[in-house]
Amino acid sequence: MFRFFAIFLTVQLSLFGIELLQPVQQHFVLPWTALLARVCAALVLWFDPNVTSAGKVLWDTKTGFGVSIEPGCNGVEACIVLFAAILAYPSTWRQKLQGLAIGLVAVQALNVVRVVSLFYLGQWSDTLFRFAHEYLWQALIMLDVLAVWLLWARSVARRTPAESAPTPTPA
């Protein structure tokens, strides 16, 4: 257990530190955030033709309302926590890579729902927007990270004993 926490904290601190570096912000985080805004706009366009994105902003061309996807709202930090937990858990590299890929998709899919819901909540009620943004969605995203990690760890734990069990030899 100590080994897990030591690796988890080391990986997490390292990745958070790397994320703060200017080149990483410029070449990864900001483009990722702009992509997130474009994906949200593309999905919303199916039922609302007045939505577009510009950089990290998702906005309504009719009302002028927009939400800016800032650091902490782009899912990168949630993915860092998930990645650290997966990397710290005792499993094969193949299992880790599968968990990282599935986890990234799960966290970012929920984050798209989060951004779109906040976009519409903000147009409807500033009070609800603030509550959902500052409390509700923060908790839900981290619960998603925990649920994804627990499901992944459970699947790894189920597969590991069968894979590592010795093959019986005929007598």
Mean pLDDT along residues 88-94:
95
pLDDT band with cut points at 50, 70 and 90 for residue 1 = confident
pLDDT band with cut points at 50, 70 and 90 for residue 158 = confident
pLDDT of residue 165: 47
Mean pLDDT of the chain: 92
At 72, give phi and psi (nearest 5°).
Answer: 95, -15
Integer Cα distance of 9 and 81 in angstroms: 9
Integer Cα distance of 104 and 112 in angstroms: 12
- Residue 98: pLDDT over 90: yes
Integer Cα distance of 140 and 111 in angstroms: 10
Give the tens place of pLDDT for each residue, 111-120: 999 999 999 9
Residue 27: how many CB atoms within 10 A of its CB?
11
pLDDT of residue 71: 83
